[in-house]
Every structure is written in C-alpha cells, then in structure tokens.
Amino acid sequence: MKWLKFAWHNTLRNPRRSAVTVSIAALGTAAILLAGGFALFTYRGLAEMSARATGHLIVAKAEQFSKDEDTPLQHGLDDADALKARLLADEAVRQVLPRVEFTGLISNGDKSTVMMATGIDPDAEFAIKGPFLSVKAGKVLTSDQRLHVMLGEALARSLKAAPGSSLTLLASTTEGALNALDVTVSGVVSTGVPDLDRRLVYTDVATAQKLLVTTRVSSLGVFLDRMEATSPAQARVQAMVPQLKVQTWVDQATFYRSVKDLYNRIFGALGLIIGVIVVFVVTNAMAMAVIERTREIGTLRALGTLPGQLVRSFALEGLLLGGMGAVAGVLIALAVTGALLAFPVQMPPPPGRSTGYPLQIAFDGTLYALTLAAMLLLATVASAFVARRTVARPIVDALAHT
C-alpha cells in the first residue's frame, strides 16, 4: 500500500503531463468501447432480423439447400402438417411456419413482370414475426382470405395496382405446365429493400399450392423461444428427422456473416491502433518522468532501495495513470450510451435499403471488463519497461546525471 501511495504522489508532481496522459487514455478507452458497442448492436440487430426472416431453424430436404429445382417444389416437403405437429412437440419450439417459394409472372392485363413470390400462413407469420413489413396501403393478409396477395411497393407502382385491384399470377406447375390464377390485391408493403420490393409477392400457402398444383411446401421455419436455444434445438430436430436437413439461421444469413467479418476486421484494427497510441503516450510520459528523476533514482539506490522496488513504483504509477484514464473512458462510454437512448439519433439508410435505423450502443460487460484490463496491463507493462533500463544503471552514473 505504501508503494501505491508513493506512486500516487509521483503522478501529482507534474499534473499537466499526468492530465494529458489520463485524457488520451480515457478517449482511447471510450473510443474502443463505443466502437465495440456499435458493432455488437449491429450484430444483434442483424441476427434478430435474420432469425425473424427465416426462423431459428430451417427444415427442408438437403437438395433444397444445395441444388436448383428443374420444376417448382421439386425438392419440396410432403406431409408438412404432420411434420409441423412433430416439431411443435419440442418444448423450445414456439411456432413452425410453412413457406412455398416460387417465381413466375404477374400481370395486370396490359403489363407483365417477373415476381418472386412466397406462400405463407398469414396469421401465424405476422403473429410470430411482428411488424416486419411496412404497410403502405390496404391491409395485411389473413388466413381466411384466399386468392389474395400483398405486393411490394415498387412492384405495385410498376403494375399501377392498389388494394382491390385484380391481377393474374402465372407460374409453372410441379408437372412443368403453365398455370394462371386471378388474385386480388390485399395490401401494398415495403421491406425497406428497394430491389426486393420490385419483385415481392406474398400470398397464402393454399393459393400458392393451387397455382403450382401441389400439396408440398418448400421448407418449414422453426421459431424458438430464445436465440441461445438454436444449437441444442438443431441437434434434437436433426435427430428427429434424419432424412431431412436442418440448418440454422446463421447458415442462411449471408449478409450477417459478411457484415460481421468486415466489422471484426475494421474495429479490430481500430482497437489495435488506439491501444498502440495509448501505450506510446504512457511510455512517453513515464520516460520523461524517469529522466527527470534519474538523480533521485541514484540517491534511492545509494540508500539501499532495490531496483525491483523502483521498477514496481514506476509500474504502479503507470497503472494509476492508465487506470484513471480507463475508468474515465468507461464513464464517457456509459454517458454516450445513455444519451443515445434518451435522445435518439437516426442513422441514414445503408446501401441497398430505403429506411434508416436508430443509432445505439450495446452494453456488454465482457467487452468493458476486457478493455479495462487491457488498458491497465498495457500501461503497467509500458511503464515498467521504460523504468527498467534507467533503474539498472550504476549508482555513480545516476548520481552524476544532469
């Protein structure tokens, strides 16, 4: 304790230099925590969005994931209702949603354009996913509606369609023949992705199966009670249906994986650069302190103080400077995190999207603890390294230093 007190008094011998060192360490710590918190917030948001889009687990035939279909639903699932009932028996499963994915043409009589359509169970889909679509006109589908569709905003504009308009869907059946079905527009929606809205069509499973002349579905999306249950549930479901393939939302989330890899590299390099800057600042401050106290070090050595004790003193001094800076940085990061919750800031739309998102910083105890520990360790090691050489000088040389 006396050495810690001694180090504390030494930091006050040059308050301006100590204040600059603490300030830079604080800003570096805050920058690392804010950048890391932003990355974690982005990861969590993309993970939730990806899991909500596909389900935590996706159950389908293996060929559905690895091969292209020659005809619609060539690799589709039979007896989907029976399989759904089996999956719902798992205690971690909240809901199982069937999906029928197909492509074709949609026409208003005068103009036809390509569509990317999905057949869903509307009531269950919107109940489990929440408001994942922005309704621009009309209303969302309901399970008691048949021969109704929802259109992407850009597609509706292209076809001059509005709620109540009559359109025709054209697609190949599972036998390779061409089939057409007249439908009514229930609503116009937006996903926030303009390219997707140009082709998007939602209808109910029964209507999609009637158009394709089949009772199959493309896949089943399994929604769990929590994100952490994904891996254990995948193992259980795979054992339950060994003839099928069970993927997780991560396997389907290409965008999530790409963003995470990119951000890990960017913020990892940023953290490394900031850490190097902090080390150089602390090293410079301690080097100046050591040079100024060379004769003092020689006097202490002449009085019997061991070199290791002096190195420990300087290391504690660096620990105090780095520790004060790190704690101040933590407080700054917490203040900014709270301020963004109290005063929301809207980020501009990212590339490929038409809607922005709120800027938030995630709080993660592990990130804070590791950053704080790293700053303390770097400051302590840097100070000890700088002091070691001077402390080891011969006493006569140290006393003669000017």
- Taking every pair of Cα atoms in the chain, the longest distance, rounded to a whole number of angstroms, is 102
- In this structure, are residues 361 and 333 in contact, taking their beta carbons and an 8 Å threshold? yes
Locate 235 and state its tokens. 């193992």
203, amino acid identity: T
3-class SS of residue 215:
coil
pTM of structure: 0.80
CA-CA distance, 365 to 2, in Å (whole number)? 32
What are the extents of the domains in the chain?
2-49+256-399, 62-243
Integer-rounded Cα Rg, in Å, for the chain is: 32
Residue found by looking up tokens 């048949």 in the block: 146
Short-list 106, 102, 119, CA closest to 161: 106
Q: Residue 156, class by beta-carbon neighbours within 10 Å (0-12 exposed, 13-18 middle, 19+ buried)? A: buried
Neighbours of 393 (CB within 10 A): 16
pLDDT, tens digit (0-9, with 9 covering 90-100), for 84-125: 999 999 889 999 999 999 999 999 988 999 999 999 998 888
3-class SS of residue 270:
helix
Mean pLDDT per 10-residue run, the chain (402 residues)?
65 75 88 92 89 91 88 89 91 92 92 92 85 85 88 93 93 89 93 89 93 92 92 93 93 89 89 83 76 70 73 78 89 93 84 78 91 87 77 67 60
Neighbours of 398 (CB within 10 A): 21
Contacts of 357 (CB under 8 A, 6+ apart): 45, 346, 347, 350
Residue found by looking up tokens 């939602």 in the block: 202
